[in-house]
Amino acid sequence: AFGSQLQRGRVACLEEIAAPRRALIVGEGNGRFLCELLRVHPTVEVDCLDASKRMLQLTRERVEQTWPDRAAHVRFLRDDITSWIPLENHYDLIVTHFVLDCFREPELRLIVQKLAGAATQTGTWLLADFRVPSGGFARLRARVWLALMYGFFRVTARIEANELIDPAPFMQSQGFTLAMQHQFKGGMLKSESWRRKMRQD
């Protein structure tokens, strides 16, 4: 139903951000976003974290085929974000595309806190995910679609979440501010760029 709109959401903010030095991608999938990141920002060093051995292999193969000269810039880490322990203040770019929606509110809060701790004090956070429009038929349609998707993925992927939780309040509590948002598919998909500004004490 969403087709190419998902990839469009992943890359919408990519060329609007400053060139990152070190990036963390959580739940990359099959590597399409990572290849675009390496195209737009060819010198970035990337840690790609995923719990799925199969997804990491697909990503590695895609990167090696698309950017063989840049594949050495990528580390593939097989781990679960809920138990993985990152270095603090290490990444100036965090990427979570279509992954935060897999968690219930308590886990989501802790994951955002963990990733914020791994980000630098002036870091950028790219987020693409589903959203529920504010009203009208679009809101009803989104709620029906999300109910169907959560039901499907609870069975097939064994995710625990059964509703979409907005991570924005948790990100704001960690010092991030929404810098840019694009919407697609009648407002059912969003692509966001968040920025953290160094505090002036």
Q: Is the pLDDT of residue 201 over 50?
A: no
Domains in the chain and their CATH numbers?
5-131+163-196 (3.40.50.150)
Outline where DSSP puts E strands in 117-169: 119-130
| Arithmetic mean of pLDDT over the chain | 88
What pTM was computed for the model? Answer: 0.87
Residue 27 has which token pair? 């739940």
**Residue 199 near residue 175, CB atoms below 8 Å:** yes
**Residue 13 near residue 126, CB atoms below 8 Å:** yes
**Residue 128 near residue 101, CB atoms below 8 Å:** no
- The larger pLDDT score, comparing residue 126 to residue 1, is at 126
Q: Is the pLDDT of residue 199 over 60?
A: no
Of 80, 73, 75, 181, which is closest to residue 126 (Cα–Cα)? 181
68 burial (CB, 10 Å; 0-12 / 13-18 / 19+) is exposed
88-138 pLDDT, tens digit each: 999 999 999 999 988 989 999 999 999 999 999 999 999 998 877 676 666
